[in-house]
Structure 1
Amino acid sequence: MRDRRRMNVALSRAKSKLVIVGSLQFLSEAVRGVNPDEETHDLTFLSDMIVTINSLSEQRRANGLALAEFVRPGRSDRPSVTP
């Protein structure tokens, strides 16, 4: 995650859907912990990525779906399957 180019490749290769598992809050706190003065450094792009993901979650496609979606732990969009 320290290399902006590698993250760009990882994030831009999805053909139809990209799923990122993790906590944006944790990532934000980790970046802030490394850089409490908010100066430019190797991980600054992660802060930019968080802002972009949050922005995409507010934008909608023509069909009404968000460009990015957050799924909280314990939430399932799939119907329960009972044997």
Structure 2
Amino acid sequence: MRPLEHANFLNMLRWLSKNRKATLLQHHGLIACEVNLEKALWLAHEVEVLAQLYLTTLAITDPVPVLSDEEIAVVLEKFKTYGLRIEE
């Protein structure tokens, strides 16, 4: 990798680490950024599973339905009280 390409790549990684947790790079693949390796691997696996789900859904409908920002906000609010809660 030439010095300019290396510098651009490092700048892109810095931007990603501040603005995204994962991204797919054309001709390169997935980059997952987290606080430690275990979490980064979990995130990478999660993105791979979601990509597989997306491709499977494309076989049924194109374009794949996407939730709006408002719908995402509702889902995130519901997740706050979803699942098992253990009282301490």
Please say which structure displays the higher CA radius of gyration.
2
Scaled by the length of structure 2, what TM-score is found?
0.30
Of Structure 1 and Structure 2, the greater strand share is in: 2
Asked which structure has the greater RCO (Cα within 8 Å, sep 6+), the reply is 1
Of Structure 1 and Structure 2, the greater helix share is in: 2
